[in-house]
């Protein structure tokens, strides 16, 4: 059995999120996308936690489902926390994802976190705490919890971020480093970029959407295979197997394997390249070095993006693959493919939505289309979409990289290819 999991999302109680980020919409979109397990996000927020308790009921051990519904979508209790604090003479801003096995454990975590900040202010609370203190609270609440540093390369609010992060995990977590088992790569990096740091070989790399609206869930995800899907089997599959206490057969008899991740093309991420958004200046790492890290238009420092930051900390050449590296597949969201085909500037237009729903109704879900359905079968139903999916699976697309908070721009077809496709569809 295969399970696609997206652990990091936000609720309607987080800043800059859709009001549709409620349990019912999330379950609906999980089915549309083909997601088996979805993180609840924001369990630290009192109103969201109240809603989760009211609308979810226990399913498999440590997992939940929408009450009184016959469906296969499961929820796992997760939340993101923002830590802003001073360490080694520098302000640090780090985001953390926490996994919890039960509402009882969540309540323990929330009680202790509330002593250091207002959990009601934001679905992703901002706390003036060292990440080590949050880790201690989590472990004291339950040893079954898991902490994962979020989007570890984002310039702001991340473990290795160029603006407020550290140069190593050890520098950040110090004597508690051994309790960190996994890292979230974020939209602007992929596993291959992280493989350039030998220090990261010991950590599992996970990928999530960090969605702020229902249609964005599943932009990135994690794929597991096996039987007896439970909270513990997921956590054990994430934790590196070198830990002798974490073999594939747990005390509960769980067996699950983490087989690959589903990735955004990192160039499409908001912080892949360096640059200065206000001046619309996009710079490659080489160009940033040429200008001394200064915007050539206004003279202000540019935002150093993920690609440059990886290059700064890397001790391996680009293209290196560790022996036990987990594979990954890159995707472009289906609505973006359709929007380009119909020459739509927004993927939320009526014509895009109608074609999207038609394809979902025919093939079942989005991941099935992007990853599994034979190209010739897609072409029978939608020739241009089929050709687009084929190019994406082969990695034959062009992307203008994102920078300083601006998403990159994907171009699937060049003008000559568009002309040929239009001629084909006429006959």
Contact between residue 191 and residue 263 where contact means Cβ atoms under 8 Å apart? yes
Distance CA 293, CA 270 (A): 18
The least confident of 67-71, 100-104, 165-169 is 67-71
Residues 85 and 234 in one domain: yes
Q: Mean of the pLDDT values across residues 221-248?
A: 83
Q: Is the pLDDT of residue 245 over 60?
A: no
- Same domain as 374, residue 254: no
Same domain, 119 and 222: yes
Averaged pLDDT score across all residues of the chain: 95
Among residues 209, 240, 267, the one where a domain terminates is 267
- Same structural domain for residues 261 and 382? no
pLDDT of residue 244: 36
Per cent of the chain over pLDDT 90 is 90
pLDDT in tens, 257-281: 999 999 999 999 999 999 999 999 9
Candidate from 129-133, 342-346, 422-426 with smallest mean pLDDT:
422-426
As beta bridge partners, residue 110 has: none
Q: What is the pLDDT of residues 279-319, one digit of tens each?
A: 999 999 999 999 999 999 999 999 999 999 999 999 999 99
How far apart, in whole angstroms, are the C-alpha atoms of residue 423 and residue 337? 19
Report how far apart, in Å, the C-alpha atoms of 30 and of each of 7, 182, 293, 304 are. 12, 24, 42, 34
Name the domain boundary from 216, 245, 267. 267
Q: Which long-range contacts (CB under 8 A, 24 or more apart) does 62-71 make?
A: 62/101, 62/102, 62/144, 62/230, 62/231, 62/232, 63/37, 63/229, 63/230, 63/231, 64/40, 66/23, 66/24, 66/27, 69/27, 71/27, 71/31
Residues 105 and 229 in one domain: yes
Task: Name the domain count of the chain.
Answer: 2
Tell me how far apart the alpha carbons of residues 381 and 375 are, in angstroms, rounded to a whole number.
10
- Please list, in sequence order, all residues whose beta carbon lies within 8 angstroms of the beta carbon of residue 168, skipping any fewer than 6 positions away: 199
Shared domain for 251 and 346, answered yes or no, is no
Average pLDDT over residues 402-425: 86
Q: Within this chain, do residues 372 and 238 fall inside the same structural domain, yes or no?
A: no
Specify if 272 maps to a domain.
Answer: no
> Out of 26-40, 235-249, 294-308, 389-403, which region has the weakest mean confidence (pLDDT)?
235-249
Of 40-54, 173-187, 259-273, 342-356, where does mean pLDDT reach its minimum? 342-356
Provide the pLDDT for residue 229: 97
pLDDT at 138 over 50: yes
Q: What is the spatial distance between Cα 321 and Cα 326, in angstroms, rounded to a whole number?
A: 10
At residue 424, the pLDDT reads: 64
In which domain, by residue range, is 95 found? 2-267
- For residues 96 and 81, give the distance between their C-alpha atoms in angstroms, rounded to a whole number: 5
Burial class of residue 357, CB neighbours in 10 A (0-12, 13-18, 19+): exposed
In a domain, 290, yes or no: no
User: Do 143 and 219 fall within a single domain?
Assistant: yes
Sorting pLDDT into bands at 50, 70 and 90, what band is 44?
A: very high
Model confidence at 251: pLDDT above 60: no
Residue 71 burial (CB count, 10 A): 12
Inside any domain, residue 277: no
| Any domain includes 302 | no
Tell whether 328 is covered by a domain.
no
Q: How do beta strands 182-184 and 204-206 pair?
A: parallel
| Residue 320 counted as domain residue | no
Q: Which residue has the higher pLDDT, 305 or 245?
A: 305
pLDDT of the residue at 6: 99
Tell whether 224 and 359 lie within a shared domain. no
d(CA 328, CA 314) in angstroms, rounded, equals 20
Question: Which ranges of 20-179 does DSSP label H, i.e. alpha helix?
Answer: 23-33, 46-55, 103-113, 131-141, 169-173
Query: Which of 221, 243, 267 marks a domain boundary?
Result: 267
Instruction: Answer yes or no: do 30 and 124 share one domain.
Output: yes
Q: Give the CATH number, domain containing residue 112.
A: 3.20.20.140
Say what the pLDDT of residue 71 is.
Answer: 83
Kindly state whether residue 346 falls inside one of the protein's structural domains: yes
**Tens digit of pLDDT for each residue in 360-402?**
999 999 999 999 999 999 999 999 999 999 999 999 999 999 9
Let me know if residue 311 belongs to a domain: no
pLDDT for residue 243 is more than 90:
no
State the pTM of this model. Answer: 0.95
Claim to verify: residue 20 and residue 102 sit in the same structural domain: yes
Q: What spatial distance separates the first Cα and last Cα of the chain, rounded to whole Å?
A: 41
SS3 of the chain: helix, strand, coil, percent, to 5: 35, 20, 40
Instruction: Identify whether residues 50 and 135 lie together within a single domain.
Output: yes
CB 56 within 8 A of CB 75: yes
Q: Report pLDDT for 247.
A: 40
């Amino acid at each position: 059995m295969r399970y696609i999991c997206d652990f990091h999302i936000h609720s309607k109680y987080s800043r800059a999120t859709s009001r549709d980020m409620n349990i019912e919409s999330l379950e609906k979109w999980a089915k549309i996308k083909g997601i088996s397990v979805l993180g609840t996000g924001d369990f630290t927020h009192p109103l969201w936690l109240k809603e989760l308790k009211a609308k979810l009921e226990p399913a498999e051990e440590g997992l939940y489902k929408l009450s009184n519904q016959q469906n296969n979508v499961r929820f796992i209790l997760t939340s993101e926390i923002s830590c802003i604090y001073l360490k080694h003479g520098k302000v640090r801003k780090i985001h953390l994802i926490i996994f919890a096995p039960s509402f009882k454990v969540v309540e323990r975590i929330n009680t202790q976190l509330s002593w250091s900040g207002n959990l009601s202010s934001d679905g992703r609370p901002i706390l003036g705490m060292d990440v080590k203190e949050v880790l201690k609270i989590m472990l004291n609440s339950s040893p079954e919890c898991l902490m994962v540093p979020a989007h570890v390369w984002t310039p702001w609010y991340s473990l290795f971020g160029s603006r407020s992060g550290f140069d190593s995990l050890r520098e950040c977590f110090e004597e508690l480093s051994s309790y960190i088992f996994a890292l979230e790569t974020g939209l602007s990096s992929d596993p291959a970029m992280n493989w350039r740091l030998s220090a990261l070989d010991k950590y599992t790399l996970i990928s999530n959407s960090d969605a702020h609206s229902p249609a964005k869930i599943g932009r990135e995800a994690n794929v597991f295979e096996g039987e007896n899907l439970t909270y513990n089997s997921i956590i054990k599959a994430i934790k590196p197997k070198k830990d002798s206490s974490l073999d594939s057969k747990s005390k509960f008899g769980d067996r699950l394997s983490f087989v690959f991740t589903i990735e955004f093309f990192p160039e499409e991420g908001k912080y892949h390249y360096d640059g200065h958004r206000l001046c619309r200046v996009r710079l490659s790492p080489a160009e940033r070095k040429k200008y001394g890290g200064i915007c050539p238009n206004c003279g202000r420092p540019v935002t150093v993006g993920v690609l440059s930051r990886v290059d700064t900390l890397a001790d391996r050449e680009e293209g290196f693959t560790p022996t036990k590296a987990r594979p990954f597949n890159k995707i472009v969201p289906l609505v973006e493919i359709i929007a380009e085909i119909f020459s739509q500037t927004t993927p939320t237009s009526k014509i895009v939505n109608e074609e999207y729903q038609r394809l979902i109704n025919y093939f079942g879900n989005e991941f099935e289309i992007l990853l599994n359905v034979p190209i010739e079968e897609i072409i029978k139903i939608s020739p241009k979409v089929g050709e687009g999916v084929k190019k994406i699976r082969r990695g034959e697309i062009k992307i203008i990289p994102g920078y300083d908070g601006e998403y990159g721009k994907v171009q699937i077809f060049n003008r000559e290819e568009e002309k040929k496709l239009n001629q084909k569809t006429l006959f």
